[in-house]
Amino acid sequence: MERMPVFVKIDEYNDVLAVVGSIRKKLDEAKETLLKISDLKNEEDHQLELWQNSLAELEKKVDFINHSLNEPEQF
Amino acid sequence: MTRSHPKLLPKEHARTHLEKDPEYMVQVSDPKILRKDLLESLREVIIFMQGYETFRKIQEEKVALFTVLKSQVREINSLVEGKLKKHLPKGKLRGLSEKQLQQQGLDTELLSPEEQQPLEVVPIERSAPREQAGREQPSELDELEKQLRDIEGQLQNIR
């Protein structure tokens, strides 16, 4: 069967365009919010990395203190 | 014969001795370094706690943004379901796939979102709410900063 073009009748064409426009606007806003969330997530990851480094440094220091108190002859 | 000092029974005395931890004198070869390490560890802990404050604020901000996003998606949904659908006729027509569109020679660029140009990235402004949050709870951070300054001062004295 040959495909025939389908026409859809829209009574309030301008209203539809306005609705589509506001949907697009809302979508842009949502995209912007999502970008902000993604940025915050990156910041969180960075902060976690800093914590990891900080903890490693702290562990080294506590180890040194522990050793110097438990095995003073080695230092 | 009665004992004159019942409290100093040898058995009890020995027991108290056993219960008490032995006292050791530990010679620390380089006390300066040890002290420096202790102070630096304290500094690290305070920096860690400051980081936690930052982390908490980021999370609060993220939760707020999630709420905003949720409401935005709900609004979009209501616009599509409530307003847009009302204007379009109810039909059982299926949307054309990309292959079918290409076969018909329609402009797919206008229809597929992948082909569209990416939107301009808007710079994110969110320094204001964080500053506000900072103003609301200054005491905890101030306290941490004060402790940090004290430790820095002590460290400088050691050096």
Q: What does the pLDDT profile of chain B (159 residues) look like in tens digits? A: 444 444 445 555 555 555 666 677 777 777 888 888 889 889 888 888 888 888 999 999 999 999 999 999 999 999 998 888 888 777 766 666 777 777 766 554 454 444 444 445 445 454 444 545 445 566 778 888 888 888 888 888 876
Residue-wise DSSP of B4-24: S-GGG-HHHHHHHHHHSPPP-
Domain membership of residue B14 (yes or no) is: no
Determine, for residues B93 and A6 on separate chains, whether the beta-carbon distance falls below 8 Å.
yes
Domain membership of residue B111 (yes or no) is: no
CA-angle at A69, arms to A63 and A72, nearest 5°: 105
Tokens matching residue A72? 């003073």
Domain membership of residue B53 (yes or no) is: yes
Residue of B23, B24, B44 to mutate when probing chain A, most A C-beta within 10 A: B44
Domain membership of residue B55 (yes or no) is: yes
Least confident of A14-18, A67-71, B147-151: A67-71
Domain membership of residue B54 (yes or no) is: yes
Q: Which domain holds residue B152?
A: 30-85+143-159
CA of B84 vs chain A CAs: smallest distance (Å): 6
**Structural domains in chain B (count):** 1
CA distances (Å), origin B122, targets A31, B60, B110 = 10, 22, 23
Domain membership of residue B96 (yes or no) is: no
Domain membership of residue B98 (yes or no) is: no
- The pLDDT of residue A39 is 95
Domain membership of residue B110 (yes or no) is: no
With cut-offs at 50, 70 and 90, classify the pLDDT of residue A32.
Answer: very high
